[in-house]
């Protein structure tokens, strides 16, 4: 179904009829249907809410570039529109960033019961000297190629170069969403982790290259009441790559 939140048309899917509510916050560039497996693992006991953030899936794109805090503000409004006063939050990848921001805030208008972070983003990787130099060279080259007379001389070569820069998420995003992504990946949320007071389950693929298992260990160390479940042989979408193990972990954790 579609609902309106602050003038944005938002896609929402609700399954299950339990008294307690669980809300899924999606990873970057996904649509809510990717998380049907997560919903089906526990919606026989819980009311499960899936939705597309603005700019994701079938929801309207933001009218301006949003940082993570702005997506967190949007989520608060979504909860108000859905009249949810208490919920467990599950976040995959980018959705984990938003949850960390929310959990670190004071005086939320709703209560976060528990948290599940699946291959969550939020830890900024330490860059080696060679990586820093590569980024510096890229920025210098980008400035040169953005000069109008240079582009006029070599438009096809420059367009081809631009199309191959950045991550797959960045390349596949619209110009507006690229701005949102850049703001997100350049913000380190490590300092917020000790402020998370809720019980937190971390579920991670040990072969995740987007948010490595080392990030999970940092979160386990810094989030006071947390535990880590590792899915062997799984990558960034660990719940899809090891669905049976993932489902068993969820059913055990949610006592189904």
| Domain residue extents for the chain | 2-124+187-253, 129-173
Check: CB of residue 49 under 8 Å from CB of residue 24. Answer: yes
What pTM value is reported for the model?
A: 0.84
pLDDT at 178: 85
Q: Give pLDDT, residue 176.
A: 85
Answer whether 116's CB lies under 8 Å from 203's CB: yes
CB burial of residue 84 (10 Å; 0-12, 13-18, 19+): middle
pLDDT at 175: 81
Q: What is the mean pLDDT of each run of 10 residues along the chain (256 residues)?
A: 95 95 96 97 97 96 95 97 97 97 95 98 73 58 64 62 55 77 89 97 96 96 97 97 97 95
78 with 27: CB under 8 angstroms? Answer: no
CATH, range 2-124+187-253: 3.40.50.1820
pLDDT at 41: 97
């Amino acid at each position: 179904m579609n609902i309106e939140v602050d003038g944005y048309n938002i896609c929402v899917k609700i399954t299950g009829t339990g008294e307690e509510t669980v809300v899924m916050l999606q990873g970057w560039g996904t649509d809510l249907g990717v998380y049907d497996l997560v919903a089906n693992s526990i919606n026989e006991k819980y009311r499960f809410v899936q939705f597309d953030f603005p700019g994701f899936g079938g929801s309207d794109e933001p009218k301006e570039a949003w940082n993570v805090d702005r997506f967190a503000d949007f989520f608060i409004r979504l909860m108000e529109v859905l009249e949810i006063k208490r919920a467990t939050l599950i976040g995959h990848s980018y959705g984990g960033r938003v949850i960390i921001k929310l959990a670190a805030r004071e005086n939320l208008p709703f209560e976060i019961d528990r948290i599940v972070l699946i291959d969550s983003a939020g830890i900024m990787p330490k860059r080696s000297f060679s990586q820093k130099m590569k980024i510096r060279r890229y920025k210098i080259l980008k400035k040169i190629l953005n000069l109008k007379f240079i582009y006029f001389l070599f438009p096809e070569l420059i367009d081809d170069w631009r199309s191959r820069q950045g991550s797959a998420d960045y390349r596949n995003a619209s110009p507006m969403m690229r701005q949102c992504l850049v703001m997100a990946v350049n913000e380190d949320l490590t300092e917020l982790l000790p402020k998370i007071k809720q019980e937190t389950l971390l579920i991670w693929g040990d072969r995740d290259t987007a948010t490595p298992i080392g990030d999970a260990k940092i979160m386990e160390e810094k989030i006071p009441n947390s535990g880590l479940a590792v899915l062997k042989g799984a990558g960034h979408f660990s719940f899809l790559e090891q669905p049976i193990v993932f489902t068993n972990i969820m059913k055990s954790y949610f006592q189904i």
